[in-house]
Amino acid sequence: MTGFSRRRLLQTGALGAAVGVGTTLVPGARSLNPIGTASAASPEQAARSFYGENQAGVLEPPAKETIMAAFDVIAPDVATLDGLLREITDQCRQLTGLSRIPDLGPKAPPADNGLLGPTSDQAGSLTLTVAVGASLFDGRFGLASRRPAQLTTMPTFQDDNLDPAECHGDLLVQLRGDSHDVVVHALRQLARHTRGAMQMRWRIDGFSNAPRPTGAQRNLLGFKDGTANPDIANPDEMRRLVWVDGSNPEPAWTAGGTYQVVRIIRMLVEFWDRVSITEQENMFGRRKDSGAPLDGNAESDLPDYAADPHGNVISLDAHIRRANPRTAESDDSRILRRGMSYDRGVDTNGNLDMGLVFNCFQQDIHRQFEANQRRLAGEPLVDYVSPTGGGYFYVLPGVVDGQDYLARGLME
pLDDT digits (tens, 9 = 90+) for 369-382: 999 999 999 999 99
Average pLDDT over residues 149-166: 96
Beta-bridge partner residues of 14: none
Q: What is the pLDDT of residues 118-155, one digit of tens each?
A: 655 556 689 999 999 999 999 999 999 999 999 999 99
Exposure string of 318-350, with b = 16+ CB inside 10 Å and e = fewer, is bbbbbbbbeeeeeeebbbbbbbbbbeeeeeeee
Judged by phi (left if over 0) then psi (alpha if -120 to 50, else beta), residue 226 lies in left
Q: Considering only 120-129, 159-168, 173-182, 307-316, which range has the smallest mean pLDDT?
A: 120-129
Percent of the chain exceeding pLDDT 90 equals 76
Half-sphere exposure of 59 (CA within 13 A, CB side): 19
Helix residue ranges per DSSP H, 195-341: 235-241, 269-272, 277-284, 319-323
**pLDDT category, 16, cuts 50, 70, 90?**
very low
188, amino acid identity? R
Could you give the CA distance from residue 217 to residue 327 in angstroms, rounded to a whole number? 26
Q: With 70 as the cut, is the pLDDT of residue 390 above it?
A: yes
User: By the 8 A CB rule, do 240 and 368 touch?
Assistant: no
pTM of the model: 0.89
Q: What is the pLDDT of residues 391-407, one digit of tens each?
A: 999 999 999 999 999 99
